[in-house]
Structure 1
């Protein structure tokens, strides 16, 4: 207990999935938490549940596509709790019907994903950093993705936006490290959030698991605990890094699973 005691955290996209897991863990470990989400009812319900468990949290509406809304979320956090020392830039969007290969991608969708997935990270940091400087420092954690490290058949905009988050993380860390502000990112693989469980066919889940080094998928808490570590003073000498939490999906030669199946026929 108390790993982030006394810290004030703004968590965007905090009403469900990875954001909700992180909010619960942060509050349990002593942080005061603002849960900001487009789904304001979900944010308020999550905050109420945290308060019922003895933590301190409030919900807030956030439209991560709007600069003014992001600024308001930061200012609300400071007004509510006197400062902001942790920012978890977690909002991210994708649409497999429109985010296609580079020839067929919907360009409106390209702009939308770049605005929400990358620009919102920039803006969250832009508005939070001056307050962190006043507070004597802070930790920014950005949600990237394993999609930012390799190509895919679709999701061109999503992958490009998450690659931008990886590099923006480095730039932010380099520019504000002397102000005692750290900036890191977490890159999830396929995580079994409620949305993933309901929207992804079992066949797709099986394909991803086949190429994991581990024999299972990740859970939201696997990311939440990583963010908690990066927000805490336990990681005080880590900055500019992106931690890939993806079960070793990209760790080995991608053909290893098929090659092992090939070898197995000679061992029978």
Structure 2
């Protein structure tokens, strides 16, 4: 308990999934949490749940595609709690119907994903960093993705946007480290959020599992605990890094499961 005691944390996309789990973990460990989400009702309900358990939190509206809305999120945080110590840039979109291969992707969708997945991270940093400097430092954590490191048949814009998040993380870390501001990223693999469970059939989940090094899929709490680690002072000498939280899915030669099957070896 108390790993981020008394710190003020902004969690974008905090009404559900990874963001919600992270907001809950940060609050449990002593942070005052601002849950910012397009789903304002969900954000407020999440905050109320934290308060009912003895934590401190508020839920507010955020449209991550608009600079003014991101600016207002930081301003409301400072107005309520006095500063910003932790920023978790977690909002992200994907669209399997429009974000296709290079020849067929929707260019308007490319622009939309770059705005929400990448530009919102930049803008969040832009408005939070001055307050972190004034407070004597802070920790920024950005949600990247394993799509930043491994290409796919579709989701071209998504992968490109997340790769840019990885490199933007390094730039922020380099430019503001002397102000005691750390900036790191977390790259989830398949995480069984409620949305993932609803959209991935059991058969498809088994297909993903076949290529994991570990015999299970990730849960939102796995990312939340990684964010907590990066937000805490326990890692005060770690910055500019992206931690891959993906169950070993991308570790080995992709033919390993096939060779195991051919040789009769047990897979996981």
TM-score normalised by L of structure 2: 0.98
User: Could you say which residue in structure 1 is the equivalent of 2:88?
Assistant: 88
Separation in structure 2 between the aligned mates of residue 204 and residue 147 of structure 1, nearest angstrom: 18
User: Could you say which residue in structure 2 is the equivalent of 1:188?
Assistant: 188
1:224-263: CA deviations, max 9, x gaps? Answer: 0000000000111110000000000111111111111112
User: Could you say which residue in structure 2 is the equivalent of 1:169?
Assistant: 169
User: Could you say which residue in structure 1 is the equivalent of 2:51?
Assistant: 51
SS at match of 1:30: coil
Size of the alignment, in residue pairs? 265
User: Could you say which residue in structure 2 is the equivalent of 1:67?
Assistant: 67
User: Could you say which residue in structure 2 is the equivalent of 1:262?
Assistant: 262
User: Could you say which residue in structure 2 is the equivalent of 1:133?
Assistant: 133
Q: Does 1:35 align with 2:35?
A: yes
SS at match of 1:213: coil
SS at match of 1:185: strand
Separation in structure 1 between the aligned mates of residue 224 and residue 240 of structure 2, nearest angstrom: 19
Question: Where in structure 1 are there 5+ consecutive unaligned residues?
Answer: none
Separation in structure 2 between the aligned mates of residue 58 and residue 239 of structure 1, nearest angstrom: 28
Calculate the aligned-residue CA RMSD, in Å: 0.7
Between 214-223 and 253-262, report the one with greater CA deviation. Answer: 253-262
User: Could you say which residue in structure 2 is the equivalent of 1:78?
Assistant: 78
Counterparts of 1:3-18 in structure 2 under 5 Å? Answer: 3-18=3-18
1:159-185: CA deviations, max 9, x gaps? Answer: 000000000001110110000000000
Question: Where in structure 2 are there 5+ consecutive unaligned residues?
Answer: none
Q: CA deviation at 1:200?
A: 1.2
Separation in structure 1 between the aligned mates of residue 249 and residue 121 of structure 2, nearest angstrom: 25
Q: CA deviation at 1:203?
A: 2.0
User: Could you say which residue in structure 1 is the equivalent of 2:105?
Assistant: 105
Spell out structure 1 runs of 4+ moving beyond 4 A: none
TM-score normalised by L of structure 1: 0.98
